[in-house]
Every structure is written in C-alpha cells, then in structure tokens.
Amino acid sequence: MVKKWMMTTLSAVLALTMAGCSTDSGTKTDGGTAAGGGEQNSGKTKVVYWTPDRHDADFMKSKIDQFNQNNKDNIEVEMTVMGDNYPQAVDIAFASKQAPDVFQVNDFQTYYQKGYLAPIDGYMSEEMKTTFKNSLIENKNTIDGKIYSLPNTGQIWRLVYNKDIFQKAGIAAPPKTIAEMVADAKKITEVGKSEGIYGFASPFKSGSGFWRAANTIAGASTNVGIDGFNYKTGQFDFSMYKSIAEALRQMNQDGSMLPGVESLDIDPLRAQFAQGKIGMYINHSGEPGVYKDQFPTKENWGAAPVPTDDGTIKGASQVIGGSYIGINADSKNKEAAWKFMEYVYSTDLQSEYYEKGYGISLIPAVLSSGKKPSIPGIEGFLPKKFDAIFPANPGIITESSLEGMKWAEAFSAYVFTGGDLDAVIKDLDTRYNAALEKSKAAGLTKVTADPSFDSSKLQGKLSTEE
C-alpha cells in the first residue's frame, strides 16, 4: 500500500510539474500522457522530448515542426519545456515510469549511475563517430567505451569589461595578470567612485561568486586541474586558488568592489554593468544574449581572456559543457528517438543554432565552417586555442559526502572577513579528501590519479586558429 501511494503521489507531482510549461510541437501536450510508452498517434510513432532550455525554445520548436512534417519514418516529436525544477521532474518521471524518450542530460554521471541513459554508439554511423571523435569526454559523454550523449554547445569564460570605463581610467587594455586586475580595479574606482562606478564585481550572494571569479583563472594559471581537483594526484588541492583569493581580498580592502557585492546575484550584477557602474567581472558566453535581450545596453563593452598569475596560460581556460541530450534506457521507441536525436545533432541544424547566437558550438565541423554568430558582443567569446573542456572530476559527487562548508563559500568568507588563508586551504583539503574516500568506498566515483595529466595538452580541440 505504501509503495502504491508513493507512486500515485509521484505521478500527481509529475503532472503538476509539467502543467503550464509545455510547448506544442505537432502534438498536444497536456502533462498526463505517459512518456516513453510507445504510444501511437494516428499511425505515427510519438517521441517525447524534455528540455529545461527556454532561451532557444522558439528555434527548437520550429525545427521540431520541420522534422515532424518532413521525416519519412512517420515519427512525431512532442517537446516539453520544463521549469527550474527540471532535475526533480526527471527523477519523478523515471520513478513513475513516465520518463520522456529523449531528454536533456544536465547531470551525466548521476543519470548514468541511476540507469537513465541508453548507449547510442550502436546507432551512430562511422561518419558521425568521426565528426564527434575529438569532442567526446569520458564521464561526460562516454563511460567504459560506450557513448551516451554528444556535445553541442559550451560556456566560454572571459573577463567582461567596459571599454569606455577603462579608457576613462587611463587603462589601455584589459589586465593580463591578477596583480594588474587588482591595480586596474583600484584605478577605475578612484576615477569613477563619485559617479557610482567601481572596478570589479562578482555575485557573492552564493558560493558561485568566488567560483565564477576564480575557477577559470585557476585552470589557466596551472596545468594540474580545476574545481580544486588535482588530476595528477587524484586528490583535492585548493592551493590553486591562493593567489586569486588574496587578490579578491585585496580588492575588497581597497574598496574596489561594487558596494553590497556580498549579497549580489548575477542578474542584479548584470543590470549594474548594463548601466555602466562596473568596470569588469568574469562570466560566460551567455552575456551577449543577456545584453541584447534581458538587459539591453548602449555601453561599449567587450570580453577578453581571464588574467592569470603571470600573464601566461600554463593550463587551459575551462569550457563548461559536454553533454546535451540522451535516450531513455527504458524507452520503447529507441530507434525513433535516435532518428530525432540524429536530426538535432546534424551539422546543418547545429550550424544554424550557432550562427543565430543560441550557444557557442563545441562541434569541430561547425566551428570549421567559417561562419560566425551575428549577435553583438559574441566575438570575444569565440573559442580560442587555449580554451578546453576538462575531464570530469568528482567534485559534485564528493560534496554529497562532505561535512562542513563548501570550498567556494569558505573562500568567499575569507575574501570579506580575512583570516588565515593557509588554514582555510588545509581545512578544505582535509575535508574534501576525506569525503572523496567516502565516495570511493560507496562506489560513487572511480577516480584515480593521472601523473601524466597536463591540461595544456587539452588545448586546440575547439578552435581552428593556429
């Protein structure tokens, strides 16, 4: 009786989750149809597709409409655009046997461990395997030699800066070193404070403020890892953030950060930048779309490589991405689901997606076409030789076993309150490596040390530049 009650509750929650967030694409979506059940509609094979992405919903709907009208296999795709509770909706759908045939993979390792994903390499042509060969990442696309998802776009991280504010402060170019970033932030504040202009900001309301400001710098300044994880040793080593934490602490003490930055979210930060009140911050390639549609601005802004310890890139500038969509392991429509998935990953569709500025492509065949996105501001985010996708690391999995404060929050606390930074780093190393051992013992990760790891060797796969 308890099990029956739980499943009924899950189904009810799923129906509520789907209600009001659907996009019709050739069929009616009412939230009550079981997905992945091989349902036929007027002789057609229905494929249910879930995505949390809203920024490209109109584009994808038009493409799915075209697929529904033109495919020769009598397939009809139904797209549902989910809300912010997408991860919970996916879990509920699988628990209640109502999961979609095709769905966006926003947590590859977890979805794989839960058995949600079907391998797709058996469906892929040799030509398609060649197209994606250099883009596949273990634990993001593949596990134990099997492919479960393919990449499409990624977040390219840059220093976003206001060109006119820099010129007004007498700064000729964006900073190349961390020390220059601190000095430039101070100059900008000294010149602009009377007008409410400050040198630097990051959304420190949550731990993401430190992570956004520091993580790409750490990956570029060293060649050992990212997210506090040293791939060479297979252990966490948060000393990679020491110089960055000290720099952010110095900018805070100098008064170079926007007042109230401790409680700032990313959208309020963007609103301030759009009004010309912030000299620089670090974020990703979604910014051109933000300043075109969400916070339209007339400010003269650009994007540059993040600064590093000494001005050189010893490792790589992290690109966040890898997985995109996958097929439900329990779907009764896998063949039809694959035909739709193959269509979505086609070079023609992905090239148009890239050119219209919906995302920076990670597919070499798209990047080598010579075509560029037309959206203003995107040029500074286009992939360069130094941009790279890092291998998956056990950071998120480890935090499920962690006791105490997470690393980005601990560093943020140091930035605003000071203290013994070496002690902060030692405490983080101790707690994270203890949690890592628990995760290994529980079979949640198989991470091992890779003494030959050198992130500079990851460079060059996303760009055609010499």
Annotate 234-302 with DSSP letters as a single string: TEE-GGGGHHHHHHHHHHHHHT-BPTTGGG--HHHHHHHHHTT-EEEEEEETTHHHIIIIIS-----EE
Q: Is the pLDDT of residue 97 over 80?
A: yes
Average pLDDT value for the chain: 88
pLDDT in tens, 39-65: 555 689 999 999 988 778 888 999 999
pLDDT in tens, 181-207: 999 999 999 999 999 999 999 999 877
The C-alpha angle 200, 203, 206, rounded to 5 degrees, equals: 145
pLDDT of residue 386: 95
pLDDT of residue 153: 87
Helix residue ranges, H only, 280-379? 287-289, 334-344, 347-355, 364-367
**Both structure tokens of 112:** 């794989």
> Which CA distances in Å does 34 have to 37, 51, 120, 173, 225?
6, 16, 23, 56, 43
> Which CA distances in Å does 153 have to 159, 340, 362, 395?
19, 18, 5, 22
DSSP secondary-structure letter at 78? Answer: E
Average pLDDT over residues 297-303: 96
Say how far apart CA 138 and CA 367 lie, in whole Å. 22
> Which CA distances in Å does 174 have to 118, 181, 275, 293?
46, 8, 20, 25
pLDDT of residue 1: 43
Q: pTM of the prediction?
A: 0.79
Coil, strand, or helix at residue 188? helix
The partner residues of 252 in beta bridges, in order of sequence, read none
Provide the CATH number for the domain formed by 155-319+391-458 in this structure.
3.40.190.10
Average pLDDT over residues 6-29: 44
Q: Where is pLDDT greater, at 33 or 450?
A: 450
The single residue listed with the structure tokens 């060969």 is 133
CATH 3.40.190.10 domain position(s) in the chain: 2-150+323-361, 155-319+391-458
Q: Are strands 117-118 and 153-162 parallel, antiparallel or unpaired?
A: unpaired
**How many helices (H) and strands (E) are present in the chain, helices listed first?**
17, 18
Confidence of residue 383 (pLDDT cuts 50, 70, 90): confident
What is the CA 379 to chain-centroid distance, rounded? 19
Q: Is the pLDDT of residue 124 over 50?
A: yes
**Both structure tokens of 360:** 């920076």
**Both structure tokens of 351:** 């090239």
Contacts 24+ apart (CB under 8 A), 59-64: 59/353, 59/356, 59/358, 61/23, 61/24, 61/25, 63/344, 63/349, 64/25, 64/26
Q: Is the pLDDT of residue 28 over 60?
A: no
Say how far apart CA 238 and CA 431 lie, in whole Å. 11
Confidence of residue 465 (pLDDT cuts 50, 70, 90): low
Query: Do the beta carbons of residue 58 and residue 110 sit within 8 Å?
Result: no
Average pLDDT over residues 349-374: 84
Say how far apart CA 43 and CA 40 lie, in whole Å. 6
The C-alpha angle 42, 47, 52, rounded to 5 degrees, equals: 135
The superfamily (CATH) of domain 2-150+323-361 is Periplasmic binding protein-like II (3.40.190.10)
pLDDT of residue 275: 98
Q: 459: buried, middle or exposed (CB in 10 Å: 19+, 13-18, 0-12)?
A: middle
